[in-house]
Amino acid sequence: MLSAGEIPLAERRSGYEFMSRETRAMQDDEATGPALFSLFDGEALWNRKAGQAGVACASCHGSMKGVAVRYPKVESGRAVNLEQQINVCRTARQNAPPWAYESRELLALTAYVARESRGMPIGIEWNGATAPFLAAGREAFNRRQGQLNLSCAQCHDDNWGRRLAGSVIPQAHPTGYPIYRLEWEALGSLQRRLRNCLTGIRAETPPYGASALVDLELFLMWRANGMRLETPAVRP
């Protein structure tokens, strides 16, 4: 189902490969890597009873292995990402208020859950249920937008490996989210990174959680099928 310009599986390369040896070492450093404290936070949140229902994630859920590589999912007529799913559980099961996007808690718990799938291949299906959202995401990826009138595809399908003002253009596979981005000096979600890109091409940024962004997330994950999850990745 590849369009012209989409990257065949054998040629898919993670952003990891475009980084320097030293930055890769930071990602590989599980003992003192920069995302470590977020993972500790995430673990604490996973085990902490919360909300009026007084239950913890751990009360209902066992291992989260294999979960993050199947997100975003299509549920109740829309694509839902892992952050949104966590908030669904917060509100519907724990009877607790949802966490704000990019809040320390939501990032930490998302990182903790996603980390359990570290090393596993990404697997998003293109089927009857997901097709309309994947198509919307693909259309967004290929659409020129913003004052610079650039599409994602122009940089990330057509010019990956070349430089954009000193930085190497990666293929834009979301293999490690939430990532510790050195530019942010903090953990952040894929949506935060997408909004950075949109700002970069001087396009309007949809609000966090907008379906336009989640559809694009879904497409990007599908486009990265077969690649191994690296959460929490370190990226420049």
Partner 1 sequence: MARVVINAPKSAKRGEVIEIKTLAGHAMETGFRRTQTGELIARDIITQLVCTYNGVEVFRAELHPAMAANPLIAFTTVATESGTLEFKWTGDNGYAVTQSAPITVV
Partner 2 sequence: MTSRRQFLALACGALAAGQAAAQLDPNIQARRAAALESAVRKVTGGKPVRAGKVKLEVPPLVDNGNTVPLSVSVDSPMTSADHVKAIHVFTEKNPQPYVVSAFLGPRAGRASITTRARIADTGKVMAIAQLSDGSFWSDTVSVVVTLSACLEDGLI
Tokens describing residue 53: 């229902």
Of 172, 138, 151, 201, give the one whose Cα is nearest residue 14: 172
Write the DSSP symbol of residue 10.
G
Peptide bond into 8 cis (omega under 30): no
Pair 110, 83: CB distance under 8 Å: yes
- Nearer Cβ to partner 2 (16/71): 16
The residue behind tokens 């990265």 is 224
Please tell me whether residue 185 binds partner 1 under the rule CB under 8 A: yes
- For residue 28, state whether it binds partner 2 (rule: CB under 8 A): no
Considering only the stretches 1-9, 19-27, 37-45, 121-129, report the one whose residues sit in contact with partner 2 under the rule CB under 8 A. Answer: 19-27
Applying the rule CB under 8 A, the residues between 40 and 99 that interact with partner 1 are 40
Pairing of strands 186-188, 179-181: antiparallel
Q: Does 34 bind partner 2 (CB under 8 A)?
A: yes
Q: Which of 60, 89, 152, 197 is catalytic?
A: 197
Smaller CB distance to partner 2: residue 89 or 107?
107
The amino acid occupying position 20 is S
**Radius of gyration in angstroms for the set of CA atoms belonging to the chain, rounded to a whole number:** 17
- Burial class of residue 145 in the structure, from the number of CB atoms within 10 Å of its CB (0-12 exposed, 13-18 middle, 19+ buried): middle
User: How many chain residues are in contact with partner 1, going by CB under 8 A?
Assistant: 8
**Using rule CB under 8 A, residue 34 touches partner 1:** yes
Q: Does 37 bind partner 1 (CB under 8 A)?
A: yes
Whether 197 is catalytic: yes
Q: Where are the alpha helices (DSSP H) in 121-223?
A: 131-142, 152-156, 190-200, 211-223
Instruction: Spell out, one character per residue from 181 to 210, where the chain touches partner 2: x when CB under 8 A holds, - when not.
Output: -xxxx------xx-xxx-xx-x--------
Output the smallest distance, CB 200 to partner 2, in A. 4
Q: Which does 236 bind (CB under 5 to 8 A by kind): partner 2, partner 1, none?
A: partner 2
Catalytic residues: 197
- Binding interface with partner 1 (CB under 8 A): 31-32, 34, 36-37, 40, 185-186
